[in-house]
A and B are shown apart, each in its own frame.
Chain A
């Protein structure tokens, strides 16, 4: 690869290797991700604050609309959780989706997993 032929981005990358740009990038990425996690921490703290201070009821089983839903006499899900109706509407099956990534890997794509 001659430097005269490659375009700007290729050039930056080539220089990067020489000038330690790649190392700097990795460190900066770590720093940037760490900074982003501080920001996430602020959102998480607000969630726990709302749970403790704003929501009057704190357990799912105490929600009056949950009691109504599962009411043994008149409830829509009167058989209780994991009953027949629950299984029909609220539970599901999963699919094995491994074939396409296996094919990718066989075609030479390097994935992290």
Chain B
């Protein structure tokens, strides 16, 4: 066990293991204070009290979506991560025969700075790229590039479903997004009958993994078998996704390792890099450049807005002058909107933030009452910026809640009968 940015991690880089059997988060029973917060925030009920004392555990890996919302909300820091590739990544970075590729997600650059004392949400994209270069990554590629690819693929898929609706052989509407790995395991586990509604697209990181070892290998003249791809995510569920058996379309493992924002901050500190004095740098070309549409993938409603920026232009044949589609931006709950597309009609969309809300939309689709064309789901309330792998909220660490519970506990403890 090792402490990384206020969270405990088990040093464990599983290879060839079925991720369905791995506890990506688990409770340290010796630290659990039985407050029940984790049970409250968990949408599935995977984490619950296992004895009279109220000690909590993730009862079974199959019921856990690996979202980490229990972990980021536990006021006692009692929940740890079960998988960490940090040591292996350091090892590969030292190995001259390995070409190490970085693939950071959009939301990482809105959380990383917090580990170095910057205000909440500070954008540190260029400094992050510079830090990755200093760490020794050979190619600074970026998952924001493949977010743009995702829009091209998923947007085109949506346009096809809408244009051909009702025709034989066409996949059904509404189309659900497939970018969030917590949501993907959720729909596979609790609503498998809805799978034809889910976009066939891999998530941006799934796309970048396979593109890096094919297109990227070709463009840079690098043998794919020497490449080691590191997915850097605001997320715990992405560790599960990277280990999925089917993620091997490049002919190799598409994603060799997955770390999260907290682990990247740890690596930067461990390497002695002075993050705050870094001058910003650009990512490497071909699989590095990105757009505003890609960066908003990090927040709830972002994939939707980015896809609409494409769908609007394709369906109407007109240029979208103002790319802001603010009606779909979502902070909490479920947001729905009618987007008028000239020459086409109305595109009906919904955005759900959090798996309990996702479940409501799933039930609606099953009952045949869903009016929507396109539904975006993010497992974490607010989206990836609030992912289970992001730096912890200092208010949760020193929360009013925690101090109040501690106060009550002290009171009870004082009155505790001598055993």
Contacts and interface: CB of A to CB of B under 8 A. Distances in A.
Interface of A: 1, 3-4, 6-13, 15, 19, 21, 24-26, 28-29, 31-33, 35-37, 39-52, 54-55, 57-66, 68-70, 76, 80-82, 86-98, 100-101, 104, 109-113
B45 A111 contact: yes
A32 B40 CA distance: 12
Contacts of A13: 34, 52-54
Nearest to A58: B292
14 contacts: A12-B34, A15-B415, A29-B37, A32-B396, A32-B401, A33-B41, A35-B393, A39-B393, A47-B302, A60-B306, A61-B310, A63-B291, A65-B288, A81-B152
Q: B214, B313, B393: which has the most chain A beta carbons within 10 Å?
A: B393
Contact of A54 (B35, B123, B185, B289): B123
Contacts of A41: 331, 382
Interface of B: 20, 33-37, 40-46, 48, 52-55, 59-60, 62-63, 72-73, 75, 106-107, 110-111, 119-123, 125, 145, 147-149, 151-153, 155-157, 160, 184-185, 187-190, 192, 195, 198, 200-202, 206-207, 210-211, 214-215, 218, 246, 249-250, 285-296, 298-300, 302, 306, 309-310, 313, 320, 323-324, 329, 331-332, 356, 359, 381-383, 385-386, 393, 395-396, 399-401, 404-405, 408-409, 412-413, 415-417, 419
A112 B358 CA distance: 13
A37 B156 CA distance: 33
Given A33-B73, A55-B291, A59-B313, 19 more contacts: A4-B419, A10-B52, A24-B408, A26-B40, A32-B399, A40-B386, A41-B331, A42-B120, A43-B299, A46-B121, A48-B299, A52-B324, A58-B309, A60-B149, A60-B306, A60-B310, A80-B156, A90-B206, A113-B43
B291 A46 contact: no
A109 B382 CA distance: 30
A95 B188 contact: yes
B270 to A, nearest CB: 25
B369 to A, nearest CB: 19
Contacts of B33: 9
A103 to B, nearest CB: 8
Contact of A59 (B185, B286, B293): B293
Contacts of A43: 107, 110-111, 120-121, 299, 382, 385-386
Contact of B292 (A46, A50, A113): A50
Nearest 10 CB-CB pairings of A with B? A100-B62, A46-B121, A112-B45, A51-B292, A58-B292, A55-B292, A60-B151, A40-B382, A81-B156, A43-B385
B306 A93 contact: no
Contacts, number: 293
A84 to B, nearest CB: 13
A109 to B, nearest CB: 6
B409 A47 contact: no
A100 B395 contact: no
A66 B290 CA distance: 9
A97 B244 CA distance: 13
A93 B289 contact: no
A47 B112 CA distance: 13
Given A6-B52, A35-B395, A61-B310, A45 B121 contact: yes
A81 B199 CA distance: 13
Given A12-B412, A58-B293, A46 B123 contact: yes
B211 A59 contact: no
A61 B395 CA distance: 40
B372 to A, nearest CB: 20
A97 B153 contact: no
Contacts of A33: 40-41, 73
